[in-house]
Amino acid sequence: MEHVEIQIPSDLQEWQCPECEETFFMKAGVSPYKCAYCNYTFPRSPYRIQEEHL
């Protein structure tokens, strides 16, 4: 197998899930709604620090 280096586009922002600690990328300026790995729901308000349940 060959090691392939992937370049991340500059318009993406790195996010880390507080629940599973996995890292994923989303467009810059947009906060994620759900974690791409564990389905954690990110708070929609900057004043909330816990998961929101719908």
Both structure tokens of 9: 């586009």
In a domain, 39, yes or no: yes
Longest dimension (CA), the chain: 46
Q: Is the pLDDT of residue 54 over 70?
A: no
In a domain, 4, yes or no: no
What is the number of residues in the chain?
54
pLDDT at 20: 92
In a domain, 3, yes or no: no
Total domains present in the chain: 1
Q: Which residues span the domain enclosing 18?
A: 12-45
Q: Are 16 and 23 in contact (CB under 8 A)?
A: yes
The model's pTM: 0.60
The predicted-structure confidence for 8-22, as pLDDT tens digits, reads as follows 788 888 889 988 999
